[in-house]
Amino acid sequence: KAGVTQTPRYLIKTRGQQVTLSCSPISGHRSVSWYQQTPGQGLQFLFEYFSETQRNKGNFPGRFSGRQFSNSRSEMNVSTLELGDSALYLCASSLAGGGSTGELFFGEGSRLTVL
């Protein structure tokens, strides 16, 4: 069974640019969450999508956005990049719904460097 797949794995951007990251969840998983990991702030929740709807959102500025497609694949976008956006962006999928333990399965992450 394939795991969570994130692309690209590494990318370098300059300030002011925008970036789109992609995540394909485990087959059958309908919930996709995004997290940002930095040395200073640790792991912080960005947003969660379920059946193409954003169910929860973290405390990030509007430059951070996302969406989910009908096949449960998700993308997140960061516009007008700032140096502080340099981070490892992790996508996680889960079964969600009744009977689920809520366990999240994480992808390898997309490491973004903003110069």
Partner 1 sequence: ELKVEQNPLFLSMQEGKNYTIYCNYSTTSDRLYWYRQDPGKSLESLFVLLSNGAVKQEGRLMASLDTKARLSTLHITAAVHDLSATYFCAVFPIQGAQKLVFGQGTRLTINP
Q: Applying CB under 8 A, which residues contact partner 1?
A: 33, 35, 42-43, 45, 48, 55-56, 58, 90, 92, 101-109
Least separation, in Å, of the C-beta of 103 and partner 1?
Answer: 5
Hey, which bits of 27-73 come out as E strands? 31-38, 42-50, 53-57, 64-68
Nearest Cα to 1, choosing from 95, 70, 101? Answer: 95
Q: Which is nearer to partner 1, 17 or 31 (CB)?
A: 31
Least separation, in Å, of the C-beta of 50 and partner 1?
Answer: 10
Q: Which is nearer to partner 1, 18 or 27 (CB)?
A: 27
Whether the Cβ atoms of residue 58 and residue 44 lie closer than 8 Å to each other: yes
Q: Which is nearer to partner 1, 66 or 107 (CB)?
A: 107
Q: Is 62 left (phi over 0), alpha (psi -120 to 50) or beta?
A: alpha
